[in-house]
Amino acid sequence: MVAAVTTTPARTRIRLPGISSRAYEHPADRGALVALRSLTGVDTVFRKLSGVVSERSLRLSYLSSSVRVGETQFRDMYDYVRDAAYLLDFAEVPELYVTQNPYASAMTIGSDRPFIVVSSGLVDLLDAEELRFVVGHEVGHALSGHAVYQTMLVSLTRLALRVAWFPIGYIGLRAIVMALEEWYRKAELSCDRAGLLAAQDPDAARRALMKTAGGSRLAEMSAAVFLEQAREYEASGDARDGVLKLINLLGSSHPAAVIRVAEIDRWAREGDYRRILAGDYPLRAEDRKASISEEAAGAARSYKESWERSTDPLFSGVRDAAGSAYEAGSKWVGGLMNKAKEARSSDPG
């Protein structure tokens, strides 16, 4: 990494000094991260798992077989990652590699020195403002430390496959993996918000997500119609379709494309985005004061609100019971976490 520096974008963008990742994280993602960060030793263990083996090996792999952006290679991409780091007040600019792959994709790898990899297909697909959104999304992953906890998901998934012959153990692990997959889907929604804060162009965010679903022929697509498609997906069919939607999510770490567009559109319109740009956001320096129980309750409220907004026939029949159960469970987990923190703080050792 190199030190973050100020660049001069094509248009004025607002810098967010000291911003905490909690400002843009989806409530369900934020609640999980606050709880995990509070567990002494867990963060260290998974940082070592991701840093010692995967991170070092993968960095060497991309260093040897991809193009690292810089002042003389993919200069525009270099400006985008520097701008995103500057605007989100990330201490260092992550390395960014472009790798030859026609499939449009991007990812952030590592924890101690996170770096970003984007495919040539993505670079060819998106325009400048859309690429700013995607690069900001990946910087958001680095700022939130998602790579550490994604390592947990990958490790447990592999473990579940190894014990598949043992039904009870497999079922338990699969339940944990499914919960982690649901968390990571919310992490993707978090980083869409980070991407919007970096690009500060809601139209570009919507276009980027739509183009990753439908390709480069933007003239033949409409963001408004795509949002209508999202509403149709949400409300379509009966309870059987609701079950099929859940089944389709199994094994997926990303939300459906129409859901991502609808979520970023809602977030841009409903106040939080403008409030943050106006300077009203939590600070990184206050992260240690974050309350686990409050974040757990926030996650419960988020799910309840999404169920109340939903027109899905399956959720129409179960939202009240599910919301009550989730809220009760979240408070219980939050209470246990807070007790654990109190016990550690009172331990003289």
Whole-number pLDDT of residue 66 = 97
Residue type, 334: G
Backbone angles phi, psi at 67, to 5 degrees: -105, 120
Whole-number pLDDT of residue 316 = 47
- Nearest-Å Rg of the Cα atoms of the chain is 20
First and final CA of the chain: distance in angstroms?
Answer: 36
Neighbours of 174 (CB within 10 A): 17
Helix (H) or strand (E) holding 106: strand 106-109
Q: Could you tell me how many residues make up the chain? A: 349
CA-to-CA separations, 217 to 100, 106, 125, 195, in angstroms, rounded = 21, 20, 9, 22
Active site residue 25: no
Q: Which DSSP letter does residue 23 get?
A: G
- Provide DSSP, 12-67: -----TTB-GGGTS-HHHHHHHHHHHHSTTHHHHHHHIIIIIIIHHHHHHHHHHSE
pTM for this prediction: 0.75
- Reading the chain (349 residues) residue by residue, the pLDDT tens digits are 444 444 444 578 999 999 999 999 888 777 666 665 555 555 555 555 554 456 777 888 999 999 999 999 999 999 999 999 999 999 889 999 999 999 999 998 877 788 999 999 999 999 999 999 999 999 999 998 887 666 665 555 555 556 555 555 555 555 666 666 777 788 899 999 999 999 999 999 999 999 999 999 999 999 999 999 988 887 766 556 566 666 666 666 678 889 899 999 999 998 899 999 999 999 998 877 766 566 555 555 554 555 455 554 444 444 444 444 444 445 444 554 555 555 555 555 4
CA-to-CA separations, 144 to 114, 264, 284, in angstroms, rounded = 11, 18, 11
* Catalytic-role residue among 130, 138, 188, 263: 138
Distance of CA 126 to the CA centre of its chain: 20
Q: Give me the residue spans of the domains in the chain.
A: 2-290
Say whether 57 sits in a helix, a strand or coil: helix
Contact 23, 89 (CB under 8 A): no
How crowded is the C-beta side of 245, counted as CA atoms within 13 Å?
20
Whole-number pLDDT of residue 3 = 46
Residues paired with 108 in a beta bridge: 116
Of 39, 212, 61, 245, give the one whose Cα is nearest residue 133: 212
Of 104, 105, 118, give the one whose Cα is nearest residue 68: 118
Of 276, 298, 292, 21, give the one whose Cα is nearest residue 141: 21
Helix (H) or strand (E) holding 119: strand 115-119
Whole-number pLDDT of residue 322 = 41
